[in-house]
Amino acid sequence: MKELEKTKRISIASVLFILVILIGLLTYKRPMHMYTINSKTTLENITSDNYLISLKDLENKEYALIDTRNEFEFQKGHLDNAINIYAPEILNEENTLIFNKLQEENKTIVLYSTNPNNVVAPFMVLYQLGVKNLKIATINNSYNQNKLITDNIDVEKSVADINAFINESIKKAAQQPKPKPIIKAPPKKVIPIKKKKKMPVEGGC
Amino acid sequence: MVNRKTAKFLSFRYTILAIILVVLAGGLVLLPKYEKHEGIKTEELLSNAVSPERYISTDELANKIISQDPSFLLIDVRSEVEFSKYSLPNAINIPLKKLLDEDSIMYLNQNQYDVVLLSNDNFYADQAWIIGNRLNYKNLKVLKGGINNWYKTIINPPIPTENMAAKEFDLYTFRKSASMFFGVVYPEQIKVTKKTEVKKVIPKKVIPIKKKKKMPVEGGC
């Protein structure tokens, strides 16, 4: 009889346990945005894929251009056919719908901003969320008299050879004093002065 | 007899329980999606990525290096070729591809030092930062403008024109002395040292002259 009670307790406990797990699984809310690739894969893809598009290639009208600057900058001047999605807001519901729609249409999405550095943040986040065909436009936007000027820019190009600069400065500095000949002052000779001896006064005092 | 039957029944229940639990455990293994979802929440990553807190300016970094601040590590994420051409003193080279290798992770995944990531410009350093931030590494910073900005502000600082504020001139003197620390030589430096050399002329030899002492005249005048 005692053994039967034990098994009753165990079976009740196990049923409850299974129930708890089932309830947990059913009520678990999936986060709205989930990464689709892990960090290592992201790193590999980032360093091997070519996701940069130059200004010339933008002429192709198949691209969906997205301006990630704020509204004010967008109103000042933007590229033709560009949509404005401010970078910190790319995970909002309405913007997620836009991205999903573009994904379904299989369009290439090109992000741009004031310069390529500002686009890295939204690009990386969207990339890791699994948005396909995502590219960055390597352009620099500036304003001249309220008119938008767009130039192509090379990403991560070294501006100056610093070692050469330092060596040149050393050369320049070493060269300068040479044309001035250093005139060494002739050693001053110390001439012993012979003081005239005063002759003793002779004669009467 | 009754005991034997209950014993059999009991073991049957236990086996069923065991099977159910094993199946549940197997179900947990079949969750590869969660493995890919490693790291901090997407919204958090986005807000960290767009905030400019991670940047450190070239002047601040120059100050840290000159005052020999021991609390930071410099990690250069450019290729080995570019690193060998020029890099900041005491910088460690971890090319971007190898950022998550086993031997590189220990530089990133620690709490003792501040890590400053740098590359030619912000681009690669920011990418490295975002990857590190997703894996919740603390103490990561990015040098704003990278080596290009380092050149423009520290190595070759722009001379302020006359109509700029006094602050700009102070900044310029700081940057110029910083550039001297990092190896740039200015012509005025050499001139000064040479002048002091010229001053060191052959020391004048002073020949002591013995004056003949005049003996006092004795006797009558």
Question: Tens digits of per-residue pLDDT, A25-60?
Answer: 877 766 678 888 888 888 888 888 788 888 888 876
**Which whole number is the average pLDDT over A19-28?**
81
| Whether residues B136 and B50 fall in one domain | yes
CB atoms within 10 A of CB A78: 18
> B116, B72 in Cβ contact below 8 A?
yes
CA dihedral (B76, B80, B84, B86) positive or negative? negative
What is the residue whose two structure tokens read 């050469």?
A: A164
Determine, yes or no, domain membership for B106: yes
Question: Tens digits of per-residue pLDDT, A120-170?
Answer: 999 999 998 888 888 898 888 888 888 888 888 888 888 888 888 888 888
ipTM score here? 0.72
Considering chain A, what is the average pLDDT of its residues? 82
Q: Select from A11, A18, A35 the residue whose CB has the most chain B CBs within 10 Å, as the one to mutate to test that interface.
A: A35
Helices (H), chain A: 2-27, 39-48, 71-76, 93-104, 116-128, 162-175
| Whether residues B51 and B32 fall in one domain | no
Q: Which residues of B touch A91 (CB under 8 A)?
A: 42-43, 46
- Provide Rg for chain B, Cα atoms: 37
Determine, yes or no, domain membership for B78: yes
Determine, yes or no, domain membership for B146: yes
Question: Do B151 and A200 make contact, defined as CB atoms within 8 angstroms?
Answer: no
Q: Is A16 helix (H, G, I), strand (E, B) or coil?
A: helix
Question: Tens digits of per-residue pLDDT, B10-19?
Answer: 678 778 878 8
Among B103, B128, B154, where does a domain finish?
Answer: B154
Helices (H), chain B: 2-29, 32-36, 42-50, 58-66, 80-85, 102-108, 122-134, 146-150, 166-181, 187-199
C-alpha distances out from residue B70 to B73, B108, B118, Å: 8, 16, 18
- Tell which A residues from 98 to 157 touch B, by Cβ distance under 8 Å: 116-117, 120-122, 124-125, 128-129, 155-157
| Whether residues B18 and B80 fall in one domain | no
Question: Tens digits of per-residue pLDDT, B198-218?
Answer: 444 566 666 767 666 666 666
| Whether residues B11 and B91 fall in one domain | no
Tokens at B33, concatenated = 């999606």
What is the residue whose two structure tokens read 């999405």?
A: A109
pLDDT by 10s per residue, chain B, length 221: 567 776 676 678 778 878 888 887 777 766 655 556 778 888 888 989 888 888 999 999 999 998 888 888 999 999 899 898 888 888 999 998 888 888 888 888 888 889 999 999 889 999 999 999 998 888 899 999 899 999 888 888 888 888 888 888 888 988 888 888 888 888 777 654 444 444 445 666 667 676 666 666 666 65
| Whether residues B149 and B47 fall in one domain | yes
- Residue B5, chain A, CB below 8 Å: the answer is no
- Residue B26, chain A, CB below 8 Å: the answer is no
Determine, yes or no, domain membership for B28: yes
Residues of chain A with pLDDT > 90, as a percent, come to 7
> Which distant-in-sequence residues (6+ apart) come within 8 Å of A160 by Cβ?
B148, B151, B155, B156
| Whether residues B106 and B91 fall in one domain | yes
Among B154, B179, B208, where does a domain finish?
Answer: B154
User: Which H or E run contains A66?
Assistant: strand A64-67
Instruction: Report d(CA B187, CA B181) in Å as an integer.
Output: 15
| Whether residues B57 and B150 fall in one domain | yes
Determine, yes or no, domain membership for B221: no
Among candidate residues B9, B39, B25, the one with its CA nearest the CA of residue B100? B39
Instruction: Report d(CA A203, CA A181) in Å as an integer.
Output: 63
**pLDDT attached to residue A198:** 65
Of all residues in chain B, the one with the smallest CA distance to A30 is: B34
- Residue A23, chain B, CB below 8 Å: the answer is no
Instruction: Report d(CA B77, CA B73) in Å as an integer.
Output: 13
Taken in order of first residue, the domains within chain A and their CATH numbers are 39-152 (3.40.250.10)
Determine, yes or no, domain membership for B84: yes
- Residue A1, chain B, CB below 8 Å: the answer is no
The vertex-B211 CA angle with B207 and B214, nearest 5°, equals 175
CATH number, position B142: 3.40.250.10
- Domains identified in chain B, total number: 2
> A129, A36 in Cβ contact below 8 A?
yes
**pLDDT attached to residue B117:** 92
Determine, yes or no, domain membership for B184: no
CB atoms within 10 A of CB B160: 16
Question: Do B205 and A185 make contact, defined as CB atoms within 8 angstroms?
Answer: no
Q: Is B142 helix (H, G, I), strand (E, B) or coil?
A: strand
Among candidate residues B76, B74, B79, the one with its CA nearest the CA of residue B61? B74
pTM value > 0.80: no
Among B120, B154, B188, where does a domain finish?
Answer: B154
- Residue A198, chain B, CB below 8 Å: the answer is yes
Determine, yes or no, domain membership for B6: yes
| Whether residues B32 and B56 fall in one domain | no
DSSP class of B120: S
Question: Do A197 and B42 make contact, defined as CB atoms within 8 angstroms?
Answer: no
Strands of the sheet containing A82-84, edge to edge, are: A52-53, A134-137, A109-112, A64-67, A82-84
**pLDDT attached to residue B198:** 46
| Whether residues B14 and B46 fall in one domain | no
| Whether residues B130 and B32 fall in one domain | no
Nearest to B214 among A91, A193, A197 (CB): A197
- Residue A184, chain B, CB below 8 Å: the answer is yes
| Whether residues B60 and B111 fall in one domain | yes
Domain that holds residue B116: 42-154
| Whether residues B122 and B142 fall in one domain | yes
